[in-house]
């Protein structure tokens, strides 16, 4: 029987932390140059909400700014992220390509479902050549609700998935699995929170642990 595994991207496959602070600092320096920010770069606050759609990020980080300012900041931040990815400043988590190869050899279909934007995801997939293993990458941008569970539902409907799992580091990934009757596998990585992981069916500390189940 073919198994389907849907992976989150940030904090699960891609070590976002390596380019996050750099890109966020660039972005807030840009705001400072426009006299639109005076305080320190809110990196800690961003870490707290890591994994939510970017529209929610800027509502949280720039609560007193206009929608126009947030949209412009979002665009600039995305440019910086992509430039840093293409410059090789990011990294995949250990064993991503090894576990992908193993899963493909063992009749598993691999998908990515992420709250990241399409251009950002494409940059990662392209730079690390993940499309050698990944059937398709889905962005939250593709659905109006901006809800991870709905995004996973779209993948299930498109590919006729009946059995499988969602692998991710945050509660939105765990809920996306449960609400779509898939196994939830929590990754105890950089952005994970213990109270969220406690709700997953399985918790792993390294992606190679997936071999135990597939």
Place of tokens 């870490």: 47
10 Å CB burial of residue 68 (0-12, 13-18, 19+) is exposed
Q: Find, among 2, 3, 1, 6, the residue nearest to 179 by Cα.
A: 6
Query: Do 41 and 137 reside in the same domain of the chain?
Result: no
- Compute and round to an integer the Cα radius of gyration of the chain: 17
Q: Do 109 and 202 fall within a single domain?
A: yes
In three-state secondary structure terms, 115 is: coil
119 with 189, same domain: the answer is yes
Paired strand residues for 14:
10, 92
Give the mean model confidence (pLDDT) for residues 94-104.
97
Domain final position from 71, 86, 101: 86
pLDDT at 31: 96
Residue 97 sits in the same domain as residue 191:
yes
Which tens digits make up the pLDDT trace of 5-57?
999 999 999 998 899 889 999 999 999 999 999 999 998 898 888 767 777 88
Task: Assess whether 161 and 59 both reside in one domain.
Answer: no
Strand partners, 113: 138
Shared-domain flag, residues 26 and 74: yes
Instruction: Indicate if 124 and 70 belong to the same structural domain.
Output: no
**What is the domain extent for residue 54?**
17-86
* pLDDT score at 51: 66
Mean pLDDT on 118-131: 97
Contacts 24+ apart (CB under 8 A), 69-73: 69/36, 73/27, 73/30, 73/31
* Total domains in the fold of the chain: 2
CB 55 within 8 A of CB 62: no
Same domain? 73 vs 159: no
pLDDT 10s digits, 181-197 = 999 999 999 888 999 99
Say if strands 3-7 and 164-168 run parallel, antiparallel, or are unpaired.
parallel
| Residue 180 confidence (pLDDT) above 90 | yes
Q: What angle do CA 76, 68, 119 make, to 5 degrees?
A: 35
Residue 68 shares a structural domain with residue 97: no
Q: Residue 4 has what pLDDT?
A: 97
Q: Quote the pTM value.
A: 0.90
Model pLDDT for residues 139-177, shown as the tens digit of each residue: 999 998 889 999 999 999 999 999 999 999 999 999 999
pLDDT at 1: 61
Residues 5, 214 contacting (CB under 8 angstroms): yes
The pLDDT of residue 149 is: 96
Of 55, 86, 117, the position where a domain reaches its end is 86
């Amino acid at each position: 029987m073919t198994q389907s595994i849907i992976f989150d991207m940030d904090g699960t496959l891609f070590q976002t932390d390596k380019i996050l602070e750099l890109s966020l600092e660039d972005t807030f320096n840009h705001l400072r140059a426009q006299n639109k920010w005076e305080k320190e770069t809110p990196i800690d606050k961003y870490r707290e909400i890591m994994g939510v759609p970017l529209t929610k990020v800027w509502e949280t980080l720039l609560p007193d700014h206009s929608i126009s300012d947030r949209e412009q900041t979002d665009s600039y931040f995305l440019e910086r992220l992509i430039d840093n990815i293409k410059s090789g400043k990011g990294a995949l988590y250990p064993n991503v390509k090894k576990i992908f190869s193993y899963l493909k050899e063992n009749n598993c279909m691999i998908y990515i479902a992420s709250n990241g934007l399409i251009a950002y995801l494409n940059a990662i997939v392209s730079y690390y050549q993940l499309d050698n293993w990944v059937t398709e990458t889905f962005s939250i941008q593709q659905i109006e609700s901006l809800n991870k569970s709905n995004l996973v539902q779209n993948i299930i409907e498109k590919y006729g998935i009946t059995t499988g799992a969602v692998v991710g580091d945050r509660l939105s990934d765990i809920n996306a699995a449960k609400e779509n009757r898939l196994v939830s596998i929590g990754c105890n990585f950089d952005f994970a929170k213990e109270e969220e992981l406690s709700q997953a069916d399985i918790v792993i500390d390294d992606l190679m642990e997936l071999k135990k189940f597939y």
